[in-house]
Structure 1
Amino acid sequence: MERTARIDTAPADAPLPDGLPDLAHLLDGMPGQSRRQDPQARVAPPAAAAEAAPAAQDRLRPVRPWRLLPTRLLPTPRATPFTFAYAVVLAVTSLVATYADPAVVQALQQGSSTDVAHLVRHPVLVLVGSALWIAGGVLSPYTLGFLLVLTALERRVGGLRAAGVFLCGHVLATLATEVPVGVAVATGQLPDTSLHRLDYGISFGVAAGVGALAGLLTPWLRWPLLAWVALIVGQDLLSSYDPLTSWGHAIALTIGIATWPRLRRAVSRTRH
């Protein structure tokens, strides 16, 4: 059905029928349309009209989404200070891992490994130090995941809560996977060499961030995201390539999901 146009022949100053709202203000800036004006209104002087023209042009200028995407998806110092500062630190350590002497890099990463031996002697130091490296380097998928997930999470819940989610996932998932190793070694079920495995990276924190962010998304985004991440984690568990790390990702994802009620309340208070 084609649309038809009806010409309104009522005079400009005729009153509107009862119950019909005046929608003329929605037609500002559109050519060929006339507004109903108050008989007492005066025509704006040319100077005032010239000053109002730029404002009208700004209202009519279309928004280009591709100009907004980089600032919305990637961290910035003002909007997401935690993610931005952390990304700078990770960029520095990635450059060190790429260009420094391999022996020095290996010593640094081994010294910040969250294996049982280091956790027993320097728990706080290695838990912080292990989160300063990206397993696989700056080209690792965890780099992109960190930037997108933590940026989106911090924009919604703030820097402190985003940092708390990341820290809980990193620390709790690490302890949940390493403590059983220590117990197994103490009971003779694993050799002593299991106390010195190399374990570092940001993947547990990113997995917790994904779980937390999913709870703040609309259902048509939430469930596909969780299903996709759960599929990846499940494939890693079935492959048995690195079962401790795979279980750590599953635990961290669950920790992020457990934060939904608290984060939703925080977002609700912020909006109101």
Structure 2
Amino acid sequence: MLTLAGVNHSAFTAALSQNPSMPSHSGRMSLREPDPAPRPARSAATTGTPRKWRSLSWLCTPASDPTAPILEPAASTATTQAGGTPLADVLGSPAATAVLTEDDLVQPTPRPAFLAAVPVSWRPKRAWLNLVPSPRSTPFTFGYLVLLLGTSLLIRFGSSKLTGKLLAVSSTDAHNMARHPLTALLTSAFWIADGGWLPYAVIFAIAVAPFERRFGGLRTALVFFSGHVLATIATELPVMALIHTDVLPHSAGRWLDIGVSYGFLTTAGVLVALLRGRARIAGIVALELFVIGVYVTDDPASLASVVTVLGHACAAHFGLLVWGPRLRSVPRIAR
């Protein structure tokens, strides 16, 4: 009788009875492990469906019937409705056979007719549109331009009696500066003398909006109105002294002195101070030429023009020499 060392005789007998046809090589018998259990068959609903599209299977299941199959087998044929589009063409899955009608597909929004008539080369670029003041990027500049537009329309279409009274109270002449200086200083910057709003809108887009994009609305308002107040006081106090000493007639203290030029010249001076190298030199030359050009195109022989050009020079150099060095180290605001 054959004996096997280290093997339980009862366990070996049971294994031999279960598999009597175990092969034998060289007189030695080996036990073979049973075959692994077969894998479960894949369902017809997911056969051939990529894994990345299985999460979209709820698109094909009606909400009223939760027991309905998610997707039909790829081998089954689906009747395509007239004008419909198979879901397989949309999702790229060979097993998707649901039908989408033309009403279910998102159609592209047609372009307006007036844009189609404008040539592409004439349409504004996005970079140029970013320079236009907007309530989101430059709220101070945009709101100030809206206010100036309202006062300009009031001067243009309002009654002359009403606008005359408003301008007389808002003027920063020597008469008003001696009686109600705060009212004159605050309200004189909200009017445009000639009512030409569009040129000032261009100037604000060049000289005020870039300043606000860099430093924010609060600092822009501070620099703008500080230049307006300082230049007004620096030019009107000498006039008041000359009138008090009878060097100038009393009629010189009642000319109309309104406008926003002192404010935007101050911000323009700061922007020039922030430039470097030759760009700063070119900016200073352009700023000085602007001040001289306004004086020459006005009435150079009148006292009002002399006072105005002194105020322009004071405001521009106040921004260039005082605010510029202070704001040069201030970081740009986060957008």
What is the TM-score with the length of structure 1 in the denominator? 0.71
How far did residue 139 of structure 1 move?
3.9
Question: What is the percent sequence identity of the aligned residues?
Answer: 39
Structure 2 residue 329 is matched with structure 1 residue 265: yes
Root mean square deviation of aligned Cα? 2.7
3-state DSSP class of the match of 1:82? helix
Structure 2 residue 112 is matched with structure 1 residue 67: no
Give ranges in structure 2 of 5+ residues lacking alignment: 1-50, 54-122
Amino acid at match of 2:206: L
Question: Partners of 2:148 and 2:317 in 1: how far apart?
Answer: 25
Question: Partners of 1:111 and 1:227 in 2: how far apart?
Answer: 36
Which structure has more relative contact order (CA 8 Å, sep 6+)? It is 1
- Determine if contact 1:177/1:247 at 8 Å carries over to the other structure: yes
What does the per-residue CA deviation read over 1:210-264, in whole Å, with 9 as the maximum and x for residues that have no partner? Answer: 1011122344443323212202323455634511001110000011112112211
Structure 2 residue 210 is matched with structure 1 residue 165: no
Amino acid at match of 1:69: W
- Determine if contact 2:152/2:195 at 8 Å carries over to the other structure: yes
How far did residue 142 of structure 1 move?
3.2
- Determine if contact 1:233/1:250 at 8 Å carries over to the other structure: yes
How far did residue 125 of structure 1 move?
1.0
Question: Partners of 2:279 and 2:52 in 1: how far apart?
Answer: 51
Question: Partners of 1:237 and 1:96 in 2: how far apart?
Answer: 27
Corresponding residue pairs, total: 213
Q: Residues 100 and 177 of structure 1: is their aligned pair in 2 closer, same or farther, counting only changes over 3 Å? A: same
Amino acid at match of 1:217: L
Structure 2 residue 141 is matched with structure 1 residue 83: yes
Q: Tell me what 2:238 maps to.
A: 180
Q: Residues 236 and 94 of structure 1: is their aligned pair in 2 closer, same or farther, counting only changes over 3 Å? A: closer
Q: Tell me what 1:143 maps to.
A: 201
Q: Tell me what 1:224 maps to.
A: 282
Q: Residues 118 and 151 of structure 1: is their aligned pair in 2 closer, same or farther, counting only changes over 3 Å? A: same
Q: Tell me what 2:270 maps to.
A: 212
How far did residue 99 of structure 1 move?
0.9
Structure 2 residue 127 is matched with structure 1 residue 97: no
- Determine if contact 2:270/2:319 at 8 Å carries over to the other structure: yes
Q: Tell me what 2:9 maps to.
A: none
- Determine if contact 1:91/1:138 at 8 Å carries over to the other structure: no
- Out of 237, 250, 258, the position equivalent to 2:313 is 250
3-state DSSP class of the match of 2:237? helix
- Out of 158, 174, 182, the position equivalent to 1:116 is 174
Q: Residues 107 and 255 of structure 1: is their aligned pair in 2 closer, same or farther, counting only changes over 3 Å? A: same
Give ranges in structure 1 of 5+ residues lacking alignment: 1-44, 48-63
Q: Which has the larger radius of gyration?
A: 2
3-state DSSP class of the match of 1:265? coil
How far did residue 184 of structure 1 move?
0.3
Question: Partners of 1:220 and 1:255 in 2: how far apart?
Answer: 21
Amino acid at match of 1:134: I
Paired residues for 1:117-136 under 5 Å: 117-136=175-194
Amino acid at match of 2:160: P
- Out of 228, 249, 274, the position equivalent to 1:191 is 249
Amino acid at match of 1:66: K
How far did residue 155 of structure 1 move?
0.3
Question: Partners of 1:125 and 1:166 in 2: how far apart?
Answer: 17
- Determine if contact 1:211/1:255 at 8 Å carries over to the other structure: yes
Question: Partners of 1:74 and 1:202 in 2: how far apart?
Answer: 19
- Determine if contact 1:94/1:134 at 8 Å carries over to the other structure: yes
Amino acid at match of 2:310: W
Question: Partners of 2:197 and 2:277 in 1: how far apart?
Answer: 31
Question: Partners of 1:76 and 1:221 in 2: how far apart?
Answer: 27
